Structures are given as structure tokens and as C-alpha cells.
Amino acid sequence: MQRIIFTLLTLAFVSTAFSQEKSTGNIAQDSTKNLKGRIISVTDKKPLQSAHVINMNTADGTITNSDGEFSIPVKANDTIHISYIGYQSIKLKITKDLLKGNELEIAIHEKVVNIDEVTVKVHNLIGVLEIDAKNVPKDQFSRIHIDGLPQAYEVGRPQTKDYTSLSGALFNPLDFWYQKFGKKPKELKKLKKLKEEDKLRNIMEEKFSREILMDYMDMSRKELNDLLKECNYSNNFIRKASDLQVIEAVLECYENYRAIKLGKVTKEKIRIKNKDNN
């Protein structure tokens, strides 16, 4: 009888220990850890300072130090986006094995850029500021802000498309995007986080790739450009704006369009008494 009791107690202890270990393992899998790594160039193995590292799942970001080192909070199955000016961006899926190991060394390739032909125009300047200022061509797409209105406008911007046909109206980028983002509030919050937090703002201000924005919005570059045109932004702005400026433009356009959609005025039915019934 004593042996049976001892065996039952032992099994109970083992079962409890196993369940605790399993529970601890699940917590460990879901817990956030600091992923440490070092980013270098493939060609010369030199560290890349000020490379951007962004967790696409949480919209947290950081930059590498002078030794190319970084540390960023991640969970298993998160994806980090790594980019550096003049180099090919990469995405890295975080696995459990990566979180168990030591610091990562990530080597990225340089971009191969084809330089377009450049035409140099000569302007006859005489050295007198007042006269030379009139001869220098001005940017016809400069953006202006009107007091009391949140939306910015551009002088000389092209006209937006006129959707006269049914098929054209169905594929209006504004309507499509508004419906799409209404079903993806998490992505919208991530864009707002990139816009609002100082560290992330600084990172996005230095980027011109549109990669993160296209990933969150699930759009191609052409679709994003078409959307910006429908939001009254010129080709000049689309071509030269930083990723931060584009994010601000997209969010501003979304909020304005949302206000229009939700602010429709409905006619109230007013019952007028007939004089004969009085």
C-alpha cells in the first residue's frame, strides 16, 4: 500500500512539473526579447552606421551605432525591416532559434542604380540679387497652407481624374483605400505611430523608398502614387517627398475623406400642419 501511494504522489509531481514547464515554454515563446545584431556590407565587411531597423509587427524602430550594432524588442514570428541608403533593403523573419542564439551578423548588398541622362540648363545670372531672383525658375508645385483648413494645396497641381463612367467610379483609389483601411485598423495605428513618435519620425524622414508604407497599406508603388494624386498631391511632391511626408499626406487625406464620408447631411422630415386641420 505504501508503494502505491508513493507511485501516485510521484506521478502527480511529474505531471505538475511537466505542465509548469509547458506553460513556461508558452510564455517564453510569446514574450518579448531584445534582438541584438550587427549590420555590415557584403563587399568590404565594414559596419554600417545609422542603418534603419524596424519591427514591422509593432512599428518599433532603431538605428545602428558606429559599430553597426543594434538592439530591438521582438517576438517570435515578428518581421524586421533593415535598410540603409544605397543598399538593398531586406526583411528578416524572427524565429525561435534566432532568439536563442547570440548576436546576429547581417550582411546586405549595395544597390545597382542606373543613372538617367541629365540635362543641364544655363541661366544667365549677372550677380545682382533682385534681377537674378527673377531669372531663376521657381518650383510651380510649392505647397501652401490656408489658415483654418487642415489640407495643404499645391500651386499648379494637375487636375484629378474625373470618374464619369461606372467602372471608373468603382475603381476610385480614395473609395477603395478608405474601405480597405476600415478593415485594417492595426495598420492604420502603425502608420500613426510612425508619424507621431519622435524616434520613428526621424527614421522615416530620412527614408524615400516607400517600402514600409506600401507594406502596411498592401499597395504597389503605382497604386500609392495614384492615391496621392487623388489626394491633390502633384507628381513633384510624389517624386521628392520623404516617407514621413508621404505618411503625413496619406493620413491627412484619410481623415479628411473619412470626415466627408461620415458627415453626410440627411434631410429631416418636417411635418407641416394643414391650416384646415387646426
CATH number at residue 92: 2.60.40.1120
Residue 64 lies in a domain: yes
Q: Are residues 164 and 250 in the same domain?
A: yes
pLDDT score for 59: 95
Which of 87, 108, 129 is the last residue in one of the domains? 108
Q: What is the mean pLDDT of residues 219-237?
A: 90
User: 37 or 174, which is more confident?
Assistant: 37
pLDDT score for 118: 53
Q: Are residues 245 and 162 in the same domain?
A: yes
CA distances, 79 to each of 23, 59, 82, 229 (Å): 25, 10, 10, 31
User: 71 or 270, which is more confident?
Assistant: 71
Query: Minimal CA–CA distance to 213: which of 243, 233, 242, 239?
Result: 243
Q: Are residues 92 and 166 in the same domain?
A: no
pLDDT tops 90 at residue 73:
yes
Residue 92 lies in a domain: yes
Among 27-36, 243-252, 255-264, which stretch is predicted with the lowest mean pLDDT?
27-36
Q: Are residues 144 and 104 in the same domain?
A: no
- For a pLDDT cut of 90, what percent of the chain falls above it? 43
Q: Are residues 177 and 251 in the same domain?
A: yes
Q: Are residues 104 and 182 in the same domain?
A: no
Q: Are residues 146 and 257 in the same domain?
A: yes
Phi–psi pair at 139, nearest 5 degrees = -75, 115
Residue 201 lies in a domain: yes
pLDDT score for 181: 78
Q: What is the mean pLDDT of residues 19-32?
A: 53
Q: Are residues 68 and 162 in the same domain?
A: no
pLDDT tops 70 at residue 232:
yes
Confidence band of 147 (pLDDT split at 50, 70, 90): low
Which of 108, 126, 150 is the last residue in one of the domains? 108
Phi–psi pair at 44, nearest 5 degrees = -115, 0
Mean pLDDT of the chain: 76
pLDDT score for 33: 92
Confidence band of 185 (pLDDT split at 50, 70, 90): confident
Q: What is the mean pLDDT of residues 246-257?
A: 90
CA angle 249, 174, 261 (to 5 degrees): 100
Q: Are residues 85 and 193 in the same domain?
A: no
pLDDT score for 10: 36
- For a pLDDT cut of 70, what percent of the chain falls above it? 62
pLDDT score for 98: 87
User: 153 or 237, which is more confident?
Assistant: 237
Q: Are residues 147 and 255 in the same domain?
A: yes
Parent domain of 77: 32-108
Residue 16 lies in a domain: no
* Bridge-based pairing state of the strands 33-41 and 52-55: unpaired
User: 97 or 271, which is more confident?
Assistant: 97
Q: Are residues 144 and 257 in the same domain?
A: yes
pLDDT tens by residue, 233-249: 998 999 999 999 999 99
Q: Are residues 145 and 258 in the same domain?
A: yes
Total domains in the chain come to: 2
Residue 206 lies in a domain: yes
pLDDT score for 9: 34
pTM, two decimal places:
0.68
